[in-house]
Amino acid sequence: MPCDIARQGTASMWTELKHLVLGPPLHAEHSEHRLNKVRALAAFSPDALSSIGYANQEIYLGLVVAGAVGLSFALPIALVIIGLLMLLALSYYQIIQGYPSGGGSYAVARSTLGTVPGLIAAAALITNYLLCVAVSLTTGVDAIASAFHELWPYRVYLSLLLLVAITLLNLRGLHETGTVMAIPVYLFLFAYLGMLAYGVFRLSVDGPVSLATVTTRATQSVTLFLLLHTFSTGCTAMTGIEAISNGVPSFKPPETKNAGRTMIVMALLMGVLFLGSIGLTQVLGIVAGPEETILSALARHLLGSGPAYLLIQASTMVILALGANTSFAGLPRLMSVMADDGFLPKQLTKLSSRLVHANGILILALSAGVLIVVFSGSSHALIPLFAVGVFLAYTLSQTGMLSHWWRERGKGWKAKAALNGTGALATGITFVIVGANKFFEGAWVAILLIPILVILFLRVHARHSLSDRGSSLHDLTLSELEPS
């Protein structure tokens, strides 16, 4: 009896502590949210908009080794990436129309290309989600450490602290649909678009600055390999473009129309932010100092080191943290769908008392934490792993849509198939370029991990199938033993 009372007391204390940290249980009606276009843009765009935080940095680091001549290629490379981005946005616009129930790469590839291609897309998406968290948080910490250099040695700890905070918020049931999520997103857009507009004004008044007058001596010459290498890392500017197509059911009716328009607006904003910041960096002759990002150097050049500069850096960190939060919304949902299909353990389908997939959230947080520690909080070291999965998933989804239009052959199917086919070809070529150029820098890890995950999915499915057959046989045997 005393032991039972002690156990009940311990259980009660644990329940009270859990409710204090995660909040009391929610009812089912809290799980249903429908978004208008303004809130949907805030909900689904952080991953895409925040990509300029690391894409610009990677282009700068790739070209600065070739001095002024190398940096002069930043804008041409950015223009090629923007062209690919717009092609990809139009392709995903088609996915929204073809898969109004939510057209993630896994769903599209599995339904159109078969089980194994679908699982390859799922494995690529899982690596994307894991690396998105690690890359976004480490880049966000870099933005703050660029403003406060004394924080630079503590980037790993700060990244992990942010990770813990985001994990707890998601375990409490933080939905990307909350109005509070819109505030930092639109603050980021206001701050950055304002800075870019001011930069254009300064350019018109002061004129351009020659890179040759500010750049250190080149340590490498400009080669095709250098340009392809830089292009492959700069393509991370396109991450997150698929988020809206995954969440079409979250929009207010008419869902496909609202989702499609939001997709186009998001792509245009991505293009303006990316091309505007790259262009100003080049024509104003901006170079980054030690322990500073190139976007920080641009903001400091235009705004000084006062409150406006600090607002830019703080909003950059917050948008990157929200970009990481996109994975906390997407990966547990994907794992739940795959568990329903029998490719992952059924425990991943369960909702916690806060109506979230807590098991998936914890798996994501632990995996991202390991990546942050192993790669010493360096987004530059994590990027090669990130880019491979991104473009493999893009290529499979576009190829799946090409197959979809070919089989459906509805009105205007040839034009739609041509668009998705061009998208598949473009992203497929980019995938090869990224994999080849980044293979020895860490891309081999993602290339090896994806088939390992596919094998794991198939084994889990085989075990579930065996268990289901055993259960059916057991039920059949019992029915035969029952008296007639």
- In the chain, what percentage of residues exceed pLDDT 70? 86
Q: Which carries the bigger pLDDT value, residue 331 or residue 76?
A: 76
**Amino acid letter, 136:** S
Angstrom CA distances, 135 to 62, 139, 243, stand at: 17, 6, 17
pLDDT of residue 208 exceeding 60, the answer is yes
Q: Where are the domains of the chain?
A: 33-460
Q: Radius of gyration (Cα) for the chain, nearest Å? A: 24
Q: Which residues contact 51 (CB under 8 A, 6 or more apart)?
A: 236, 237, 238, 239, 240, 270, 274, 323
What digits encode the pLDDT tens for the residues 162-185?
Answer: 999 989 888 877 554 455 678 899
- Considering 94-103, 143-152, 378-387, the range whose residues carry the highest mean pLDDT is 143-152
pLDDT of residue 484 exceeding 50, the answer is no
Tokens of 229: 């290498």
Name the 3-class secondary structure at 253. coil
pLDDT of residue 15 exceeding 80, the answer is no
Helix residue ranges, H only, 174-285: 182-206, 224-234, 243-246, 255-283
Contact by Cβ (8 Å): 274, 237: yes
Give the residues across from 35 on adjacent strands: 251
Mean pLDDT value of segment 116-131: 90
How much is the pTM? 0.83
pLDDT of residue 141 exceeding 70, the answer is yes
Angstrom CA distances, 426 to 48, 53, 268, stand at: 19, 24, 19
Question: How far is residue 241's CA from residue 315's CA, in Å, rounded to a whole number?
Answer: 20
Q: Which helix (H) or strand (E) holds 141?
A: helix 115-147
Contact by Cβ (8 Å): 93, 264: yes
Q: Which of 136-145, 155-164, 202-211, 461-470 has the lowest mean pLDDT?
A: 461-470
What digits encode the pLDDT tens for the residues 379-426?
Answer: 888 887 877 888 888 899 889 888 888 888 888 888 888 988 988 898
Per-residue model confidence (pLDDT) at position 176: 45
Angstrom CA distances, 254 to 34, 94, 97, 177, 191, stand at: 11, 16, 11, 18, 32
pLDDT of residue 143 exceeding 70, the answer is yes
pLDDT of residue 363 exceeding 60, the answer is yes
Residue 348 half-sphere exposure, CB side, CA atoms within 13 Å? 21
What digits encode the pLDDT tens for the residues 20-73?
Answer: 555 555 554 444 556 788 888 888 888 888 888 888 998 998 898 888 888 889
Contact by Cβ (8 Å): 389, 445: no
pLDDT band for position 198 (cuts 50, 70, 90): very high
Count the Cβ atoms, other than its own, within 10 Å of residue 18. Answer: 16
What is the 8-class DSSP label of residue 35?
B
Per-residue model confidence (pLDDT) at position 478: 46
pLDDT of residue 1 exceeding 60, the answer is no
Q: Which fold would CATH assign to domain 33-460? A: Amino acid/polyamine transporter I (1.20.1740)
Per-residue model confidence (pLDDT) at position 82: 93
Per-residue model confidence (pLDDT) at position 104: 72
Q: What's the burial of 380, exposed, middle or buried (CB within 10 Å: 0-12/13-18/19+)? A: middle
Per-residue b or e along 309-348, where b marks 16 or more CB atoms closer than 10 Å to that residue's CB: bebbbbbbbbbbbbbbbbbbbbbbbbbbbbbebbbbeeeb
- In the chain, what percentage of residues exceed pLDDT 90? 28
Question: How far is residue 443's CA from residue 446's CA, in Å, rounded to a whole number?
Answer: 5
Shortest CA distance to 46 belongs to which of 154, 136, 120?
136
Per-residue model confidence (pLDDT) at position 177: 45
Using N-to-C axis directions, what is the helix angle for 52-63 and 255-283, rounded to 10°? Answer: 30
Mean pLDDT value of segment 254-282: 92
Mean model confidence pLDDT for the chain: 83
